Structure 1
């Protein structure tokens, strides 16, 4: 009967010589016979066991379970062996299904994070002023993401209005709402495809925080903050319908639109 040196066994099974020695040390392979010169020699039965171990490990089956499968292998009937393989496969499929579910959850989180990153990509808001920066701020709804909460402004918007906006203005935790900013609002005008809101200069921090939160929340709507003289200006860009709705978020009758 022909026997193989370890290099030949490695080429025949697709395993490295180091891996074959490791499997032998773990009892997955009977101790190799030795030639007169002391070299390991492997027969066809050894190669079949090695291929079994290689395939099982490729499928993610733990070494301990592979070792159980090998017990009494060549003295077993094909039927008995098939039953053992079937039971092992059923357990492994359960493990794989659990990992798939976990990975799908991670993928959903990544998709949501990617959408928020895209929405905030054009923001000029300083990270130092942002109340809910991606991955950094634990504000609920997942790690480092803002989560909508009820607000008095949100309650004033009906479902059809929210569908036009594609977001809920002022619904971010730990950030100012339009109600909070209303007392500092001086003027609000819609011109040139933008809603321009002018606030007292003293409200600059609150306006920046509000704009930063909305940049994360409302994809497709632009929120830019600038300072001019004694005022801080929030310029909102969006569709005409969106701007008309956003303008109503500040309950201030004397504002001229």
Structure 2
């Protein structure tokens, strides 16, 4: 079947200008042109572009996408999938690091906002003025909650707040601890409201799971952790409200 560029753009979900750009940089070959001079795409072109758009949507750089396309054209699906898995793993690690950095930045910005809100209504700026770019240390005994969803931190009697009170500089370390633990899981299972991870039992692992779950529940009370132990295995169930589904996936992964 033959398609014009506008039809392909609609089918793969990108503007026609993007398709032309992919041609210009050599990511895809230039399609044949019909007697009327218009680009003419076939089914193979369409499937290749769907593959490109799908991998690009994962944040994989175009240079890597170009290498994947070469494999897509000549390799078995399992070989291509293996390459995609490796790139996705790298992208995931980078994204999880950025999550920690962004939550830490959000905590800092929230502190700055709170301090500026207390600025005097009159007088010139000077020493001790709150108009600074660095957040002050949080007052002793007071927790600063940073929203982990797109909306503001709003508490209701019926729903826990999807927010974290962990100190900003501790967030990346906590995420790294969870990543190291999750990497040891031998099985993952989607459950109602969350994710279940299964591990090979050992005293050291049980202690680490319990430590992290207790620490996380203290700063992110919207999580519910259930630890089950049986002969040779440890099962950790993590549940959270529907609004925190993305947070659960980012921290604990998804089922295969």
> TM-score, normalization: structure 2?
0.50
Asked which structure has the greater CA Rg, the reply is 1
TM-score by length of 1: 0.49
